[in-house]
Amino acid sequence: MKIKRMGIVAIALASTGALMLAGCAGGGATTGDDSAIITTNGSEPQMSLIPTNTTEAGGGKIVTSIFAGLVSYSEAGEIENEVAESIESDDATTWTVSLKDGWTFSNDEPVTASSFVDAWNYGALVTNAQGSSYFFDNIVGYSDVSNTKDDPTGATDDAGQVLQVPDPLAETMSGLKVVDDTTFTVELAGTEADWPLRLGYTAYSPLPAVAFEDMDAFGQNPVGNGPYMLAGEDAWQHDVQIELVTNPDYSGVRTPKNDGLTIVFFASFDAGYAAVQGGDLDVLDQIPESALATYESDFPDSFVNEPAAVFQAFNMPYYLEHWSGEEGKLRRAALSMAIDRAEITDVVFQGTRTPATDFTSPVIDGYSDSLEGSEVLDFNPDEAVALWAEADAISPYTGTFDIAYNADGPHQVWVDAVVNSVKNTLDINAVGKPYPTFAASIDDREAQTLTGGTRSGWLADYPSLYNFLAPLYQTGAGSNYEGYSSEEFDTLLKGGAAASSVEDATAKYVEAQEVLLQDLPTIPLWYQNTSGVWSDSVSNVEFGWDSVPLYYAITRN
């Protein structure tokens, strides 16, 4: 999930009244006592709140709160059955999913096998243009709904990509079949032993029938089956906040111990930090750079700083001159070795980051700090200069090297530190290139109009090595904006996904990362810790494996 940090508006707090989810909520649910509403920070969602089209952290927090999938994740990242009664397979290829009885959406519509199958088919269908469609690419029939069949002639376009056969689209994937109201089967294109592990991600959420009547309208006022629901038709105040109340019909493993959430879209983490200090905000899920030296003394009994499944890097587009082929490989390695990660994480981040040794996270099973070729991530100025000179011998580098970043997030200080390290080591002109908002920075990435590097962050969708690799580096993947393509990497990745055991899959993913260390489509920087603070008006504040607070567990003192 792309990391989106902070909105673009001033601080705005509003009380949450006893509102009914008009036209949607069943049972006349109200918010209860306003004093039991928990306030926390967030950011304006990039898209409407449709589970299969929510691919950034701001919207993800909300969608996860208002929808319940087959499974959810514990604080440690272990899966727990939520709507699913069981998920079973004899061959790790064909899976039978049985649902628990009695689940309903907040409009009283029952949650059935069709609620999942219809939602997944909608998410996969290419004409619906859903950002998470590739999460279904391992299901039999995905190629029929996504029109990604390879041309049997082997013809390629100018970029070397295999041309697609313009077959008529199917509307549903043949690998999904409804057996009865509480049972459906999923046929995968190959064996995948850890397939259930991914099912807690929001893309696999169910949808009620009302969603398909007008998906655009639904995305602005979604009806879910999770622990929370929107507090009314006007609950989402764009660029300001969103108000959620508890769903009285929810019966899963995340039963709220409060009456709801108000997620406020702050203009900066500094503003959010000041709000917690002033008693106007309960929980802040990231400490601003300005408070890294003082947060422990400011909040001596209410802070967290521990590893999380968040990876930070910057990417170099392959479409830019000097950054492809042998020259590009040399320059990428030189850039990586020109960055003093240890000093930056220690001085700039005050130990709230850890220098990267791979492309995943230390909290994910299979993580390694000893990959073959990982020395390219060590600060080695002499080797960096030598490699840059080799690249210049192929084609001299002129002009200014820049790294794009969104200025509405806490990035300027570290970007400045990185470009200064590059400038001082390689003796080139290097600068940061700020964009006013996250959306603006993504627009240029999607349009492939960057002039240099770009900040890249990844918050895991589910606790698996595969999730750190496939969405970002697989040929044609949804978040592979900079155009990396490697047949060797793709083959290893597919081999891992098709492995019959988690251990065999991990071995393939390790090999795939060693290919990435040679090619460096991204320059790994560091792992971001979960770092947050909370006021003394709340208790039982815990952060999950993905750095997001377990909102349902928070109580008002």
Output b/e per residue, 317-338; b: 16+ Cβ within 10 A. Answer: bbebebbbeebbbbbbbbbbbb
Residue 270 scores a pLDDT above 80: yes
pLDDT of 3 over the 90 cut: no
What is the 8-class DSSP label of residue 56?
B
Taking residues 445-454, report their average pLDDT.
92
The pLDDT score that the predictor gives to residue 155 is 46
What's the rounded mean pLDDT across residues 183-206?
93
Confidence at 15, pLDDT banded by 50, 70, 90: very low
Distance CA 224, CA 368 (A): 38
Q: What's the mean pLDDT in 276-281? A: 97
Q: Which residues pair with 401 in a beta bridge?
A: 430
pLDDT of the residue at 267: 84
User: What's the mean pLDDT in 387-391?
Assistant: 98
The CATH code belonging to domain 34-265 is: 3.40.190.10
Q: What is the arithmetic mean of pLDDT over 334-345? A: 97
Q: How many of the other CB atoms lie within 10 Å of CB of 259?
A: 21
Answer whether 68's CB lies under 8 Å from 250's CB: yes
User: Where in the chain is CATH 3.40.190.10?
Assistant: 34-265
- Of the candidates 268, 174, 236, the one whose C-alpha atom is nearest the C-alpha of residue 19 is 236
Nearest Cα to 182, choosing from 97, 90, 300, 72?
97
What are 230's strand-pairing partners?
244
Determine whether 166 is exposed, middle or buried from the number of CB atoms within 10 Å of its CB (0-12, 13-18, 19+).
Answer: exposed
Range of weakest confidence among 152-156, 202-206, 356-360 = 152-156
Long-range contacts of 467-471 (CB under 8 A, 24+ apart): 467/198, 467/201, 468/311, 468/359, 468/360, 468/361, 468/364, 469/359, 469/360, 469/493, 469/509, 469/512, 469/513, 469/516, 470/134, 470/497, 471/134
Report how far residue 258's alpha carbon sits from residue 66's, in angstroms, rounded to the nearest whole number.
Answer: 15
496 vs 162 pLDDT, higher one: 496
pLDDT band at 14 (very low <50, low <70, confident <90, very high): very low
**315 closest CA partner among 457, 420, 454, 485:** 454
- Tell me: pLDDT of 305 over 60: yes
The pLDDT value given to residue 56: 83
* Model confidence band, residue 63 (pLDDT cutoffs 50, 70, 90): very high
Of 408, 105, 62, 35, give the one whose Cα is nearest residue 235. Answer: 62
- Look up tokens 């999938």; give the residue: 69
Structure tokens at 268: 């900066």
pLDDT, tens digit, 9 for 90 and up, residues 510-551: 999 999 999 999 999 999 889 999 999 999 999 998 889 999
pLDDT of residue 439: 77
Residue 325 pLDDT exceeds 60? yes
Categorize the per-residue pLDDT at 345 as very low, low, confident or very high, splitting at 50, 70 and 90. very high
Per-residue pLDDT of 354-366, as tens digits, reads 999 999 999 898 9
Residue 161 pLDDT > 80: no
Q: Which residue has the higher pLDDT, 120 or 269?
A: 120
**Rounded Cα–Cα distance for residues 406 and 93 (Å):** 42
**Above 90 in pLDDT, residue 122?**
yes
Question: Rounded distance, CA 38 to CA 283, Å?
Answer: 8
* Alpha helices (H) in 265-363, listed in sequence order: 269-277, 295-298, 325-337, 341-347
Average pLDDT taken over every residue of the chain? 88
Q: Where in the sequence of the chain do the CATH 3.10.105.10 domains occur?
A: 307-530
Banded model confidence at residue 148, pLDDT cuts 50, 70, 90 = low
Cα–Cα distance for residue pair 141/174, rounded to 1 Å? 5
33 compared with 177, residue with greater pLDDT = 177
Give the CATH number of domain 307-530. Answer: 3.10.105.10
pLDDT for 410 equals 79
Q: Which residues pair with 228 in a beta bridge?
A: 246
Question: What amino acid occupies position 313?
Answer: A
**pLDDT interval class at 30 (50, 70, 90):** very low
Residue 500 has pLDDT above 80, yes or no: no
pLDDT of residue 268: 86
Spell out the residues 6+ positions from residue 396 whose beta carbon is closer than 8 angstroms to its own.
Answer: none
Alpha carbon distances (Å) from 398 to 35, 421, 427, 436 = 60, 18, 12, 27
High-pLDDT (> 90) share of the chain, %: 70
N- to C-terminal Cα separation, the chain: 33
Q: What is the pLDDT of residue 168?
A: 79
Residue 247 contacts residue 224 (beta carbons within 8 Å): yes
- What pTM did the predictor assign? 0.76
- pLDDT in the model for residue 51: 97
Residue 11 pLDDT more than 80? no
Q: Note the helical H segments in 362-437.
A: 381-394, 412-426
For residue 31 the two structure tokens come to 């918010």
